[in-house]
A and B are shown apart, each in its own frame.
Chain A
Amino acid sequence: MTIDVQPDTTAPAALPGAAEAARLRRSYRRRHVLARIGLYVGAILAAFLCAAPFLWSLITAFKQNRDLYNPANNPFLYNRPATSDHVLYLFERTTFTTFAWNTLWVGVLVVAITLLLGLPAAYALARLDRPWAGWFGVVIFLVYLVPPSLLFLSLSRLIVAVGLQDSTWSLVLIYPTITIPVSIWLLIGFLKAVPRDIEEQAMVDGYSRLAAFWRAVVPLTFPGIVAVVVFAFTLTASEFIYALAFVSPTTEKVISTGVPTELVRGDVFFWQSLQAATVLVAIPLAIVFNLFLDRFIAGFTQGAVKG
């Protein structure tokens, strides 16, 4: 078979000669340098835009009232000496520590419930190939279409009915509805990343399906589970609508609703204390989330992209 090797008469482009190559090399190097500069500028800009309010909050938390309430003063500097009065006020004269404590134990319990209900469910969907597994994914998704803003009205009735009105426990009851669907979704991703061989080996070694799950699979998914824990905790700590609707007494409130209502008496805002509270809560959460970010992304890749 004769092959027409030349498709047409146009000659292919030639390689650059020495001088032109040198010029091209310089131009590519320049572009590379510009790209790096662009990257750093972008990164710094992004970091600044995201974090500037918090930086400013940090400064403000230590400002004296007369410094703060003067529009002519530079808001980024201490025009009068810094004071820790307002930060101390936050801890000593408000129920901030109670709020923080409430947020913490609610978060822990909600995460525990989420894992207890969600991990087995995720395993069932990821591994025990039931034909209806695909449908379930859709149903999970549908749950998110029913937003808290729609449910809080009927849920508040339900809360009253079980006698949990005005109690922090109502949040422990309700929050998993928000965390469970997305946690299942993420956990499915993490579980799928574990090769089937592991459980099959365990079962051949004499363990039941259940034991194989608990002993062999769960330890391997542990980093993913931690990532889900962090994410669920963040969701819980941030939740606003239910907390606002269900819990009125001050001592029962969580940070999300407590701080705004406690530190805002009528028209008076205790700004410095508010900023201190914000910074105190924001920084640990962000640090922990950052620690597990890579895991979180890995789970997303498995679940969202391939699932």
Chain B
Amino acid sequence: MTPIDTAPRRRLADREGTLAWIFLMPSVIYILVLVAVPFVLAIGFALSDVTAGDPSFDWVGVRNFERVFEDPVFWRSLGNTFVFTLISMALIIVLGKVLANILVADFRGKWFVRFLVLLPWTTPVALSSISWLWMLDSIFSPIDWVLRQLGLLGGADALIKPDTNMYWLGEPGLAMASVIAVHVWRLTPLAAVIMVAGLVAIPRDLDEAARVDGAGYWRRMFEVTIPLVLPVAAVAALFGAIFTFTDMAVVDVLTNGGPNNATQVLTSWAFFRGIDGGDVGQGAAIALFLFPLLLAAAVAILRAVRRMEV
């Protein structure tokens, strides 16, 4: 009698544990090689004396950090980065929420409005920033032109100032405001889209129950809608803040950090030192400074979100 065959061996395509690993490994390895390794390398650079001219690797301990800290521009950049990030994020969250409410409602021409509203986000940042460069130009700015027509600029009795132009990118305070404004302009659509997802996830029942319970529009907004969107908004804010904290595109194109480092942020400063200036060690030290801050902020916000979860 021929022996009965034992159960067929499971094909590779069925072994879930192995399959899971196979599916995940490529991404993991890729990220490891191209993110984790350079990260460690960056730490290494920060502790070395590598420059573009002298690529030999010598340990110098924390000397780079010392030199970086001695440079007042570094501290200016740090302060600017915080100001830039905090103000931008505050505006982005509030405006994004308002825009999300608009996008959720039903009205004629909604598709077209959506298209227009997406333009700032989907356009490559370099290009949109260049458009703004002209719009904020010291001589030819269309905004200034409009203000002149309205009598707010130019002439002795102008409301804002007698000059013919605002010097949006020339005056330190205005330059920072301009950079913030363009950045907010760019990111608000994305924040709005994320918050639409949050709004849409709220069951319709809840809003109706609140209506029947007697709550008016504002009470419903503040006691039902916003608390339920808060976790999503917080995550969006976190990603936005991290992105803003490490972004330099707008600054680079509009002001290049000027005037006089008034809009210099950590990333642009790191770029300036590391690539333009060729001092890789210092560049890395500056950029690396960001990481612990980001980590702390991220952990804090994630904890808060976890507690908010319903």
Contacts and interface: CB of A to CB of B under 8 A. Distances in A.
Direct contact of A and B (CB under 8 A): yes
A185 B149 CA distance: 50
A180 to B, nearest CB: 6
7 contacts: A42-B98, A53-B120, A154-B45, A157-B41, A275-B131, A281-B127, A286-B123
A136 to B, nearest CB: 8
A306 to B, nearest CB: 7
A230 to B, nearest CB: 9
Interface string B168-208: 00000000000000000100110001101110110000000
Contact of B291 (A60, A146, A304): A146
Nearest to B95: A46
A46 B287 CA distance: 35
B13 A209 contact: yes
Contact of B142 (A56, A116, A144): A56
A208 B14 contact: yes
B92 interface: no
B126 interface: yes
Contacts of B245: 147
Given A151-B35, A305-B198, A290 B111 contact: yes
Interface string A253-282: 001110110000000010100110110011
Interface of A: 35-36, 39-40, 42-44, 46-51, 53-54, 56-57, 60, 68-69, 71, 74-76, 116-118, 120-121, 123-125, 128, 130, 136, 141, 143-158, 173-174, 176-177, 180-181, 184, 208-211, 234, 237-241, 244-245, 255-257, 259-260, 269, 271, 274-275, 277-278, 281-283, 285-287, 289-290, 293, 296-298, 300-301, 304-306
Contacts of B26: 116-117, 120-121
B115 to A, nearest CB: 5
Nearest to A158: B38
Contacts of B132: 53
B130 A274 contact: yes
Give the secondary structure class of A's interface: helix
Contacts of A275: 131, 134
B286 to A, nearest CB: 9
List the 8 closest pairs (A to B, CB-CB), nearest first.
Answer: A147-B246, A120-B23, A208-B13, A300-B197, A154-B38, A154-B41, A210-B13, A75-B142
A148 B200 CA distance: 32
Given A147-B242, A240-B249, A290-B111, A121 B164 contact: no
Given A42-B102, A151-B35, A177-B30, A124 B23 contact: yes
Contact of A143 (B35, B122, B252, B271): B35
B35 A177 contact: yes
Contact of B267 (A51, A149, A238): A149
B93 interface: no
A130 B242 CA distance: 29
A40 B107 contact: yes
Interface stretch (B65-73, B219-227, B231-239): B231-239
B41 A209 contact: no
Contacts of B37: 154, 158
Contact of B127 (A35, A44, A71, A256): A256
A144 B239 contact: yes
B115 A154 contact: no
A145 B291 contact: yes
Given A71-B140, A153-B42, A238-B124, A39 B107 contact: yes
Nearest to B267: A149
B239 A47 contact: no
